[in-house]
Structure 1
Amino acid sequence: MMKGSKPLLLLLVASSLCLSAVIAAQQQTCPADLGGKCDGGASDDWEGEFFPGVPKIKYEGPTSKNPLAYRWYNAEEVILGKKMKDWMRFSVAFWHTFRGTGADPFGAPTKSWPWEDGTNSLAMAKRRMRAHFEFMEKLGVDRWCFHDRDIAPDGRTLEETNANMDEIVELAKQLQAETNTKPLWGTAQLFMHPRYMHGAATSPEVKVYAYAAAQVKKALEVTHYLGGENYVFWGGREGYQTLLNTDMKRELDHLANFLQAAVDYKKKIGFKGTLLIEPKPQEPTKHQYDWDVATTFAFLQKYGLTGEFKINVECNHATLSGHSCHHELETARINGLLGNIDANTGDPQVGWDTDQFMTDIAEATLVMSSVVKNGGLAPGGFNFDAKLRRESTDVEDMFLAHISGMDTLARGLRNVAKLIEDGSLDELVRKRYQSFDSQIGALIESGKGDFETLEKKVLEWGEPTVPSGKQELAEILFHSAL
């Protein structure tokens, strides 16, 4: 890029975004079937149908050719002793589904839904909330997730912002009662506003720290009021791009104190939900307390918070941290920390958080194997922290993406059931460790295998014979169930 071209580039980007807003405002500002009753977006109490061309999504089986039907997800079907809906506990992410614009670091927004008017007004927030609940009802999902600032607009002051939130939350409470739904979890958005450019609980500015505390206080109250089952703390911008101008220990101490205060307030208001931390590498920092499950576990242990928090594993974040989603789930599960899963995936050739819907059957089978070994996720579940591709701009695409993601995980569950019923893979694993099904093996596994005793056994046995691990056979057995 030529010297001096950066201001021009920023001007062009700003102009493009402004033009997108103007175009959006000129487009239909309410559902397509409202016809001549459309009032330019001023009304917030219209209660008609936002998705008139989409029926309620039903299970039709694997042979169905209907794209607006489930092929593998049958909510009431019992698999491995539980209904599929109870294994899955699916939820819709409000921010990606209803606030996603299709923008990326190099491109302007590409989506403008029929009910949007280009504003972030209270009226628009109410209309958007109604569309959200209709979407969930037609999809057959009874849980949702939200950031505070995605469902209600910022005001000029904290008081005004909280008043906006109260008004939207009352509508959400009403719609929940009408549709028998509730939040899987809520959270505070502590990363988008410029005040959080240095972090929130890790900010070096005490006034920002206090503002973040006030925002989390309100978000906890809202989640509790709506009957939420969990509350999530995102990594977001909590971390460090460079250590040259950062007191990392001080910021970690501040963060631990912040989380402890959240625990205390949760108990004070009687919120019974689980507090979750989500590992979030490279968004956008590189020195983080929550790089992966293991790092987050170490942080919780150091500050005595392991009994208060579980972990929300996002599959795309797992790959960004250099692990597979299965690895992160198993690390969380083995340590008693698996609380919730953000069901998405990333592109292995793209080094940032693309938040794609999971469509890989093998990956979904591994994910569901961890869930089954964990006995389920309740009170957690699967949240579709995933967004449409930038070029997918039809309203119908919102349904197609969720159907695909739900079917993929449902198929993974069915595959796990087949593997368990067949038993060959479990038997292969059992045989691999069968040498420990001995007197000396039992001694070791009970923690009583001292070195002197083991040395005597080695002198008695001589050089050990090491059998094959049968890795290829394990892969054959696994993929035979897919």
Structure 2
Amino acid sequence: MKDWLRFAVCYWHTWRGNGADIFGLAGTQERPWDTSDTLEGALERVDVHFEFCQKLGVELYCFHDRDAAPEGATIAESERIFDQVVDKLAAKQKETGISLLWATPQLFSHARYMNGAATNPDPAVVCHAAAQVKKCLDVAKRLGGENFVLWGGRDGYQCLLNTDYKQELTNYAAFLRATADYAKEIGFTGQLLLEPKPREPMAHQYNFDSETTLGFLDHHGLIDQYALNLEANHGTLAGHSGEHEVEAAVSRGKLGSIDANRNETLLGWDTDMFPTDPALSTYIMKRVIDQGGLEPGGLNFDAKVRRESSDVEDLFIGHINGMDNYARGLRAAAKLIADGTLDSMRNGRYSAFSKTPIGKRFTAGKASLTELAAHAVSNGEPKQASGQQEKYESIFNAFAYRG
């Protein structure tokens, strides 16, 4: 099962989260490993992180640069601090066999990025973001990272009145192109991934959802350089489901990796809860099996224990619940595929496009509008066919909930 379920522990929620929210900034979770934002504290957290992964039996992890190492007063100082932490990460990887699924630059918390990173109206800020991406790519290569993720949390707008929308999209494409070029230059062979999210912290983010992001990449000639890292949470915020976002990516061959979590759908913000929905995990794993797997991507638990869950034990239980949920989803998906009923029914709905002359010509792009209209006139009113939604749901649920 581990070939299909490439679980990863995230550094940010797991080691830097303390239960804080906007109504309680002090937090509720006292963690002995998170006593200071210093180099010494960062080095101590490396030991805690690898011990936790070993106890869970998880062989992959992910981090933002600023989760792993504190930022210094200058770029040079930040890179020196980062290098010392990376030295220890590399040593622990060698010692334990645990490896890096992906790294990502944290381009949204510092005040310099309040107006954007890649899309900032000030070229000096864009250059600073570029320096951070460059260093993080170097580190990802050194640690054998299988992927590199960019999430443009501030790359969007708060106010259209002060935003040159076209300029920002042009600049964003230029930044992504430069990133892909540098990855190639240094010989980084991992996947480059964009992570869509519609809003939060910005009112509108340019990587709004799967379709928007893929359309943007297509438009700017970057579709071959990037795939998607998808999070069910973010799909919910975009007015979609996690299943929809995965389907949109798989349909284009662009599902690169998954941030495995769920959202409290009654709320309007990103809640990053551990995944416990068997229907969601079954659907996702079915599409993963259909595309032949997720490697070099994985299932990263971008999830945090609740503010009210203040015991260290809760960290273990949250991850174990998520792993169990996806294991059940994988088994259910495999049985669903082996049964074949659902796929056969769905394929049957569209079979006329491969079996009838007019269907074949239309799909091949050879039928004109005049030819299609003439076919309608000569054949009369089509026979009504039920969509059978209830039957599809019954079949799917029989596997998702009963296995």
Query: If the TM-score is normalised by the length of the shorter chain, which range does it land in?
Result: over 0.9
Structure-1 residue corresponding to 2:335: 418
From 356, 372, 381, the equivalent of 1:463 is 381
CA displacement, residues 433-463 of structure 1 (integer Å, 9 cap, x when unaligned): 2333233322222222333333343333221
- 2:174 pairs, out of 243, 248, 257, with 257
What is aligned with 2:146?
229
For 2:359, the equivalent position in structure 1 comes to 441
- Counterpart contact for 1:361–1:409, Cα < 8 Å: yes
Deviation of residue 286 (structure 1)? 2.8
- After TM superposition, the structure 1 stretch with the greater mean CA deviation from structure 2, 400-409 or 105-114, is 105-114
**Matched residue SS, 2:358:** helix
Q: Aligned partner of 1:332: which letter?
A: A
Q: Which residue of structure 2 aligns with residue 144 of structure 1?
A: 61
Give the secondary structure class of the aligned counterpart of 1:244: helix
For 1:90, the equivalent position in structure 2 comes to 7
Instruction: Give me the whole-angstrom Cα distance separating, in 2, the residues matched to 1:236 and 1:459.
Output: 52
- Show CA shifts across 1:297-339 (max 9, x none): 1211222111111111111000001111111111111112111
Name which of 37, 42, 56 aligns with 1:120: 37
Q: Aligned ranges for residues 68-107 of structure 1 at < 5 Å?
A: 84-107=1-24
**Structure label with greater radius of gyration:** 1
Alignment partner of 1:219 out of 136, 150, 154: 136
Q: Which whole-Å CA distance do the structure 2 matches of 1:248 and 1:456 have between them?
A: 44
More moved, 254-263 vs 319-328: 254-263
On the 8 A contact 1:183/1:226 being kept in 2, the answer is yes
Gap runs ≥5 in structure 2: none
Work out which of the residue numbers 95, 99, 115 in structure 2 matches 1:182. Answer: 99
**Partners of 2:352 and 2:224 in 1: how far apart?**
35
Mapped partners of 1:456, 1:263: distance in 2: 49
Q: Is the 8 A contact 1:277 1:309 kept in 2?
A: yes
The equivalent residue for 1:375 is 292
Comparing 363-372 with 280-289, greater Cα deviation is found at: 280-289
TM-score between both structures, scaled by the size of structure 1: 0.80
For residue 233 of structure 2, the aligned residue among 316, 327, 331 is 316
Q: Which residue of 2 aligns with 1:46?
A: none
What secondary structure sits across from 2:135 in the alignment?
helix
Between the aligned partners of 2:38 and 2:181, the Cα distance in structure 1 is 34
Confirm or deny: 8 A CA contact 1:195 1:208 kept in the other structure: yes
Deviation for aligned residue 1:282: 1.3
- Cα distance in structure 2, aligned partners of 1:301 and 1:379: 22
- Could you list the runs of 5+ residues in structure 1 that have no partner in the other structure? 1-83
* Residue type of the alignment partner of 1:184: L
RMSD over aligned CA atoms reads 1.3
For residues 371 and 211 of structure 1, the distance between their equivalents in structure 2, rounded to whole angstroms, comes to: 37
SS of structure 1 residue aligned to 2:4: helix
Residue aligning to 1:169: 86
Q: Deviations over 1:58-108 (max 9, x none)?
A: xxxxxxxxxxxxxxxxxxxxxxxxxx1111211110111111111111113
Separation in structure 1 between the aligned mates of residue 34 and residue 137 of structure 2, nearest angstrom: 28
Q: Provide the residue aligned with 1:196 in structure 2.
A: 113
Secondary structure of 2:162's match?
coil
Q: How does 1:3-402 map to 2 (within 5 A)?
A: 84-108=1-25, 109-117=27-35, 119-402=36-319
**Matches of 2:351 and 2:135, distance apart in 1:** 54
CA contact (8 A) 1:326 1:370 kept: no
Percent identity over paired residues = 53
TM-score, normalised by the number of residues in structure 2: 0.96
Hey, what does 1:58 align to over in structure 2? Answer: none
Q: Distance in 1 between matches of 2:93 and 2:198?
A: 34
Partner secondary structure for residue 62 of structure 2 = strand
Q: Which amino acid aligns with 1:321?
A: A
Deviation at 1:382, TM superposition (A): 0.9
Does the Cα contact within 8 Å between 2:18 and 2:31 map onto a contact in 1?
A: no
Q: Distance in 2 between matches of 1:303 and 1:138?
A: 44
